[in-house]
Chains A and B, each alone.
Chain A
Amino acid sequence: MKNILLLEDDPAITHLLKFKLTREGYSVSNFSNGENAANYLIENKTDLVISDIMMPIINGIALLKEIKADKRISHIPVILLSAISQDELVEEGLKAGAAGYLTKPFSVEELLKTVKRLI
Chain B
Amino acid sequence: MFGFHIIYILLALFILLMIVTFFVIFLLITRVIINRRQKKQIAFENAWRENIFEYLYSEQEPNELIDRIPASKYVYLLGFLRDFLLNLKGNDLDKLARLFTDTSLKKYLIKRAGSISKKKKNEAIYFLKYVNDDSVKILLKKFLASKNELIFRTTVESLSYLNETDIIDRIFEFFAGKKQFNIDGALSMLVKFDRSICPILTNMLGTKKSNDILHVIIMILRHHRYAEAIDKLLPIMINSGHKDVIIESIKYLGEIKDPDSINTLRYFLAQSKPAVSVAAIEAASKIGHGFLEDIIISKLDDRNLEVKIAAARAMSTYSPNSRAKLLELSRQNSKNENVIIAKRITIENSILTND
Contacts of B86 in A (CB 8 A): 104-105
Most buried by A among B84, B87, B91: B87
Q: Is the CB of A106 within 8 A of B84?
A: no
Query: What separation, in Å, do the CA atoms of A23 and B57 have in the docked complex?
Result: 10
Please pick, from A12, A105, A109, the residue contacting B91 in the complex, using a CB distance under 8 A: A109
Please judge, given known A-B contacts A15-B49, A20-B53, A20-B57, whether A105 and B80 are in contact too, CB under 8 Å. no
Query: What separation, in Å, do the CA atoms of A90 and B207 have in the docked complex?
Result: 42
Query: What separation, in Å, do the CA atoms of A105 and B56 have in the docked complex?
Result: 16
A residues 1-58 near B (Cβ < 8 Å) are: 10, 12-13, 15-16, 19-20, 23
Contacts of B10 in A (CB 8 A): none
Query: What separation, in Å, do the CA atoms of A104 and B56 have in the docked complex?
Result: 18
B136 at the interface (CB under 8 A from A): no
A107 at the interface (CB under 8 A from B): yes
Q: Is the CB of B89 within 8 A of A105?
A: yes
B3 at the interface (CB under 8 A from A): no
B15 at the interface (CB under 8 A from A): no
Interface string of B84-95 (1 = CB under 8 A from A): 101111111100
A119 at the interface (CB under 8 A from B): no
Please judge, given known A-B contacts A12-B80, A13-B83, whether A106 and B50 are in contact too, CB under 8 Å. no
- Shortest beta-carbon distance, B57 to chain A, in Å? 6
Q: Is the CB of A108 within 8 A of B92?
A: yes
Q: Is the CB of B80 within 8 A of A110?
A: no
Q: Is the CB of B83 within 8 A of A107?
A: no
Contacts of A105 in B (CB 8 A): 86-89, 93
Query: What separation, in Å, do the CA atoms of A105 and B57 have in the docked complex?
Result: 18
- Shortest beta-carbon distance, A41 to chain B, in Å? 25
Please pick, from A15, A19, A108, the residue contacting B88 in the complex, using a CB distance under 8 A: A108
B residues 29-79 near A (Cβ < 8 Å) are: 49-50, 53, 56-57
Contacts of A15 in B (CB 8 A): 49, 53
Q: Is the CB of B90 within 8 A of A109?
A: yes
- Tally of chain B residues near chain A (CB < 8 A): 16
Query: What separation, in Å, do the CA atoms of A15 and B91 have in the docked complex?
Result: 18
Q: Which residue of A lies closest to B88 (CB)?
A: A105
- Shortest beta-carbon distance, B253 to chain A, in Å? 25
- Shortest beta-carbon distance, B52 to chain A, in Å? 9
Q: Is the CB of A110 within 8 A of B53?
A: no
Query: What separation, in Å, do the CA atoms of A18 and B175 have in the docked complex?
Result: 45
Q: Is the CB of A107 within 8 A of B89?
A: yes
Q: Which residue of A lies closest to B91 (CB)?
A: A109
Query: What separation, in Å, do the CA atoms of A23 and B88 have in the docked complex?
Result: 18
Query: What separation, in Å, do the CA atoms of A12 and B41 have in the docked complex?
Result: 12
Contacts of A104 in B (CB 8 A): 86-87
Please pick, from A10, A23, A110, the residue contacting B87 in the complex, using a CB distance under 8 A: A10
Contacts of B56 in A (CB 8 A): 16
- Shortest beta-carbon distance, A24 to chain B, in Å? 10
Please pick, from A16, A107, A109, the residue contacting B53 in the complex, using a CB distance under 8 A: A16
A residues lining the B interface (CB < 8 Å): 10, 12-13, 15-16, 19-20, 23, 104-110
B residues lining the A interface (CB < 8 Å): 49-50, 53, 56-57, 80, 83-84, 86-93
Sampled A-B contacts (19; CB under 8 Å): A10-B83, A12-B80, A12-B84, A13-B83, A15-B49, A15-B53, A16-B53, A16-B56, A16-B84, A19-B49, A19-B50, A20-B53, A23-B57, A104-B87, A105-B86, A105-B88, A106-B89, A107-B88, A108-B92
Q: A10-B83, A109-B92 are in contact. List 6 more A-B contacts (CB 8 A).
A: A16-B84, A19-B50, A20-B53, A105-B88, A105-B93, A107-B89
